[in-house]
Structure 1
């Protein structure tokens, strides 16, 4: 039986050659692309923890609160400049690793501590006054609150052991406190405006009250605290007289 004739191989055209040449180049292209891509950070890479990475929960909030309480104790003992993270951890009963889960540095800790003290003061002030709807009763409640604060506050001790930090803290909260005081005393000022027939300078009145509190921290005088209500009302009366005289002119 005769064998079938062999089929001749078709000549490879330019297009086929082009495809053949491009095919092995693909892996090299992928390799070059991979080389250009930035290396991903491994999950176990070490570094200073940044606050906020830990999801907030009740346990973490309690840990942060304990660290901030310990911070106050350490600062009042050794000052802010010499604060030791190791001492804070020891007083708080946490490890350094736990500390760095929430705070990245000593500066971060002190900054958070300052905000915590400021917010705690304003929250407690609001809670003490907001439920009192009578203007005169709310004003009297403010004076009682400030008197208790000055009696129990550790701000004077902070000023002694860490003067630069304390003065910086007072400067930091000063203008914010003026705004907060205006908020809680709005019904008092509304009542005075209506009775006196003029709009008082609320910002100035609140600034005077805050400056009084700071002066009591710097130069304590328990007798002058009893005169604060009288002085505030005298200032309001003087402002009223000034407004009336300007109106007449």
Structure 2
């Protein structure tokens, strides 16, 4: 069982690195992934019979990485405001670090589909991890938005930064902090 996981994990990790280099799922071949993972093609096909199987595994890997990173960002924060600020900072940086600036421009249809599928689960996770912090957002306190709606808005704002990259991500973060009712420091 351990060998299976190690092989599959090595293949997915290699595929993620290769995808970052290629910039497009269309250019990703199973042969190139096998070479990058330093496994034989039969080993790769044993775990990922098709390219689509591998793409599903890559998406699951990236999703897991997102949730682990969010949990890590929140781990040291003890106040609701600190947790919300940490989550906002994480959102602003995660997509750029994971996919790079050009990725949504290369495959916009796949990008939008992926984000659409991810949004409900990410919203639910944000509500679960940050519900008390999001409840302090001024529009939520005023009864204008639910906690779920506010969480979704923050995620959609981060998605917009990914889809239409901002030359100044710190400005986006400052705007999100302001919307959250957090103290906003002037950009340096």
Q: In 1, distance between residues paired with 2:136 and 2:84?
A: 11
> SS in structure 2 opposite 1:132?
coil
Q: Do residues 206 (structure 1) and 154 (structure 2) align? A: no
Moved over 3 A (4+): 189-193, 196-200
Give runs of aligned pairs for residues 158-197 of structure 1, distance below 5 A: 158-189=103-134, 196=141
* Cα RMSD after superposing both structures: 2.6
Describe the shift of the 1:96–1:68 C-alpha distance in structure 2 as closer, same or farther (beyond 3 A): same
Q: In 2, distance between residues paired with 1:92 and 1:182?
A: 37
- Residue of structure 1 in register with 2:186 after alignment: none
- Structure 2: where are the runs of 5+ without partners? 183-188
Query: Is contact 2:74-2:86 (8 Å) kept?
Result: yes
- Residue of structure 2 in register with 1:228 after alignment: 176
The TM-score with structure 2 as length reference comes to: 0.81
Q: In 1, distance between residues paired with 2:160 and 2:23?
A: 24
1:121-176: CA deviation from partner (whole Å, max 9, x where unpaired): 01220232145331111112112222332552325332133333222211111111
- Residue of structure 2 in register with 1:39 after alignment: none
- Number of matched residues? 177
Q: In 1, distance between residues paired with 2:57 and 2:29?
A: 16
Match of 2:65 among 114, 120, 123: 120
The TM-score with structure 1 as length reference comes to: 0.63
Structure with bigger RCO (C-alpha 8 Å, 6+ apart): 2
Give 1 or 2: higher helix fraction.
Answer: 2
In our comparison, the structure showing a higher alpha carbon Rg is 1
Q: In 1, distance between residues paired with 2:142 and 2:111?
A: 41
Q: 1:99 Cα shift?
A: 0.6
